A and B are shown apart, each in its own frame.
Chain A
């Protein structure tokens, strides 16, 4: 359920063009489906002729059952074919929708990949995930039901007209006479049905949101002892919504009422006019009966299209989010062929500046020179620019790439991947993918042997608990997988980084309070690794900082202090303030 406003008419035209443009993977199938559906309609017309003639012969030409079997057998055949065509047509249209959805999801994911992690972080993972999952699913009904129904609403009435004219032009004229009602219906359906649908669904979703919001905050309502009051609120708001919605619907349904009225009256009119022509003998019964049988079918496709209007709106609304992603500007770096030459002797930044668009946050004038090994700690308040600095070093901020130098070559002149593949990185909340522990580790090294996995896990202090899991290294992780504690997740991520055995390890230490044993374990593993690799860490813990070779203190995007723990404590600067805040009175 969504409460975001529906796109207006101008946007809808753009969005429908977008949906058409991205339907190529299934458009041929959709055409086949529509062809089959139209064939079904043609056979329906034929079978009406057969029925009418059979009934006519029995009623007015004194024929017996044996005399009309030549009509009934083909009729049975037609019925069978129709059933077949209908089932096939539906299957194919759904299959086409699947193909289009798959292609769309692929396109979106590929585009998001090219846009890099920062794009979806800024838009919010939740919103992007919804577009990728529910949004794409919302296209299903649009392609499978709505689009074919539009085609049928034009094709089937036309087919009926074309066939009926040669048989009896007067009957044809009756249809043609009522045909101008169709555009009228179209407009009614187009404008009014859309309004009804919009209002109905929006009201429902507002109501739904209110209810589920309160359900989400139920614990809090209990703590405030407010559940009984809220119960009254829910009843009252539901009732208010009912009253207001009903007053809207009373009017809105009038348009549907008009449509129904015209369709019904038209059919009744056709029946009465034909009745009189039959009475005066200007029409034979078979033809009259055909017209009567076809009259409802003439208007049916239009009425059916109305029932798919919700699918149309859902599809179009979902498309609005997709078009945003697909049209987002990519800042593609000029393809660089130059590979980084190993070993990495120096990593430094030269006048590194980066500022986020539409905000003042960023980093400025950072000049750093990192040794080939050792433990480097970064400290600062949240928002001081630590993560931004890391993103720049990792090559995620393309504008900053020319100010990051590896072996004296700017990152912008290198194939970025050839730099990134020498870095292992652990964020505060590492992602454990929805796969086994072993596969999660193998992300870092595809061809790692079991022995290597165990070795890396042992180094990270993770081997013992992994082996204690119900299925050991084959235990499935992720949202629905085994529940691991924060410390255990951290250690698996550490094992993953160690498995890569990259010359550089960058990690954002978890600020959560892990138990002291786990903290020591992780700390020792990192210090050990730093002996012959470069380890850069956004540090939150005292132990990490006391053991660091160099500490950089950041404030408002600038480096304000650097040195070892002892040196900085003697300076009695920012770090000293931060570390003694716990130890003394203010």
Chain B
């Protein structure tokens, strides 16, 4: 319930639009109900008047019918426009709120909140909330307003019919769908699981196609897929069967209610307590009144889904602590050294990713981090970036014999001093220029072109017909790994920060490009403090110092050359064919 209220609060800025949509929606429903009921009455009255050969004012009801028909159509049009507009407004609100929450959380909170991939889960959750207004909130508001109105009119004619009808409406519109919604929220998790399982099996068959062929196990894998498919289908069928049952039941209740109201009303017509023409009207009125709950079942079925999606998003929001204390010191962008003191890091209580790292990197020094995968290189960089909070020990910046704890800096200041090119470099959906400007928003086109040139993107760029305006990413041109790497380097070159971290900068570059990239980087970054994660001898050769990590500990700090001469393990580590 509290999540529902929090969701409503999120809707608050657009309450006017949302309510206007709801009002038009209600108007449509009521006009429709009125149209049917009055048509019934009109027909009966005309027939009665015809039989009794009395004159009848048929202009008014015929006019009302026409009027209601027009109101219904017009308000339906308005409703569609307004509700869609409101949905878009809310959608933007939700996305901005989710994005701002996620961007404030540290990556550790994000990673540890769930084992499965956070982003894909987030996608489902945001999608579920996108339609919260249209599918959940709107039908509820419409029912809340229109049911009392309809009931008021109906009870004016006959309270017991109204009571019968109200009970039926509650069963069809609330009880039945709430039951289904409750049931589905339980089975939805299982359905998702089965779906993921099927996906895993299908993915195995594709990725492992060669192995399966060579081990003559393709047929066996086909059976595995078929079984997973069958299990998944069983869950889907269960859901559809439940909906089918509920549809049948709804039809049964709706029709029986009309039958019941006829049975209630017939003796009253006989005893002349109500006019005979009202029988025709009431039977149609009862039937039409179910329009008020037409979209309600879907709302209640989706409600648990929307609420659990909201709960997960709010849960992340609640993780946001109090704002970090305002930074007291501001460090200028000047040559800086880094000192790691007694750094420990645990993923969980058993596995230690870093053990007592003590390390000093001087200003303008060029150092390399080497070590097998899992030795703690990336963890160390994540701690330096602040994306992961330090658990034990401290990281300090050294300038002019002063030592400043990195944690006392504001995020803005920290990233002004620090540029990190991660190994998993994301190319955003947008133009090349847009991608580059993420590094430096104010950069001129000339600056962008220069950075591209320095990063050896020149030849590639010159053959792109749209140049910097070429669209990249999911909906654009695909870039090779080597190109992505060089785009990342161009971004790093644009940012004029004192410390630069490059994770595998020369990976997937051909020999010629590699050397050119290394030369420019060393040239442009001569006055910077540079940390590279690399095993490339060509780059290691240029480094002042190599820090060799193994199993979270520093195994050696020395120059590349002397390590090559003294450590056989090091030679095998950096020699790759």
Contacts and interface: CB of A to CB of B under 8 A. Distances in A.
A213 B207 contact: no
B426 A51 contact: no
18 contacts: A58-B276, A58-B279, A60-B48, A65-B263, A87-B244, A94-B241, A117-B210, A125-B206, A208-B123, A215-B102, A235-B92, A254-B77, A289-B280, A381-B510, A417-B216, A444-B215, A496-B215, A511-B576
A583 interface: yes
Contacts of A253: 77, 80-81
B211 A431 contact: yes
Interface string A242-255: 10011001100110
A234 to B, nearest CB: 6
Contacts of A95: 237
B210 A425 contact: yes
B251 interface: yes
Nearest to B243: A90
Interface string B211-222: 111111110111
B128 interface: no
Interface string A414-428: 000100110111010
Interface string A75-114: 1100110111011101100110010011001100110110
A394 B214 contact: yes
Contacts of B415: 222-225
A75 B538 contact: no
B182 to A, nearest CB: 20
A513 B538 contact: no
**In terms of DSSP, what is the predominant structure of the interface of chain B?**
helix
B257 to A, nearest CB: 10
Contact of A434 (B88, B204, B245, B416): B204
A379 interface: yes
Contacts of A212: 119, 122-123
B240 A90 contact: yes
Contact of B237 (A98, A380, A582, A583): A98
B202 A217 contact: no
B373 A513 contact: yes
Interface string B225-248: 110011001001100110111011
B366 interface: no
B210 A3 contact: no
Chain A contact patch, size range: 35 or more
Interface in B492-512: 495, 508, 510-511
B422 interface: yes
A478 interface: yes
Interface string A533-550: 000000111110100000
Interface stretch (B154-162, B166-174, B191-199, B446-454): B191-199
Given A234-B92, A285-B43, 9 more contacts: A51-B262, A58-B276, A113-B209, A117-B210, A133-B198, A213-B428, A257-B77, A434-B200, A479-B203
A513 B551 CA distance: 13
B126 A211 contact: yes
Interface string B415-427: 1100110100110
Nearest to A120: B206
Nearest to A551: B577
Which among A217, A250, A486, A575 has the greatest number of chain B C-beta atoms within 10 A? A217
Q: Which 6 A-B pairs have the closest CB atoms?
A: A87-B248, A431-B208, A238-B92, A217-B426, A225-B415, A117-B209
Contact of A64 (B35, B270, B538, B576): B270
B572 A519 contact: yes
B577 A59 contact: no
Interface stretch (A179-187, A260-268, A358-366, A463-471): A260-268
Given A59-B279, A292-B40, A84 B248 contact: yes
A359 to B, nearest CB: 14
A218 interface: yes
B345 to A, nearest CB: 17
B72 interface: yes
Contacts of A133: 195, 198-199, 202
Interface stretch (A168-176, A269-277, A326-334): A269-277
Nearest to B254: A79
Nearest to A275: B46
A279 B46 contact: yes
Given A95-B237, A433-B204, A541-B572, A246 B229 contact: no
A540 B577 contact: yes
Contacts of A101: 229, 233
B39 A292 contact: yes
A55 B210 contact: no
A165 interface: no
A129 B267 contact: no
Interface residues of B, number: 151
Contact of A129 (B126, B206, B244): B206
B240 A55 contact: no
Contacts of A271: 39, 42-43, 65
B266 A64 contact: yes
Interface string B42-77: 111011111100001010001001100100110011
Contacts of A382: 508
A527 interface: no
B422 A223 contact: yes
Nearest to A75: B259
B551 A220 contact: no
A141 B216 CA distance: 36
A369 interface: no
Contacts of A64: 266-267, 270
Contacts of B428: 213-214, 217
Contacts of A528: none
Contact of A102 (B48, B230, B256): B230
B411 interface: yes
Nearest to B209: A117
A288 interface: yes
A566 interface: no
A150 B266 CA distance: 40
Given A249-B81, A271-B65, A211 B99 contact: yes
Contacts of A256: 77, 80
B372 A513 contact: yes
Interface in A475-520: 478-480, 485-486, 496, 500, 511-516, 519
B265 to A, nearest CB: 8
A144 interface: yes
A58 B269 contact: yes
A480 B193 CA distance: 10
A403 interface: no
Contact of A229 (B255, B375, B441, B551): B441
Given A84-B248, A211-B126, A91 B241 contact: yes
Given A144-B240, A443-B211, A545-B577, A216 B119 contact: yes
A238 to B, nearest CB: 3
B190 interface: no
Which among B51, B224, B371, B535 has the greatest number of chain A C-beta atoms within 10 A? B51
Contacts of A516: 372, 550, 569, 572-573
A579 B196 contact: no
A543 B572 CA distance: 7
A47 B564 CA distance: 93
A7 interface: no
Interface in A126-157: 128-129, 132-133, 140, 144
Given A144-B240, A225-B411, A279-B46, A220 B245 contact: no
Nearest to B193: A480
A210 B283 CA distance: 52
B189 interface: no
Nearest to A78: B255
Contacts of A431: 204, 207-208, 211
Interface string B260-280: 001100110110000011011
B516 interface: no
Contact of B99 (A109, A234, A424, A539): A234
B49 A279 contact: yes
Contact of B249 (A59, A83, A427): A83
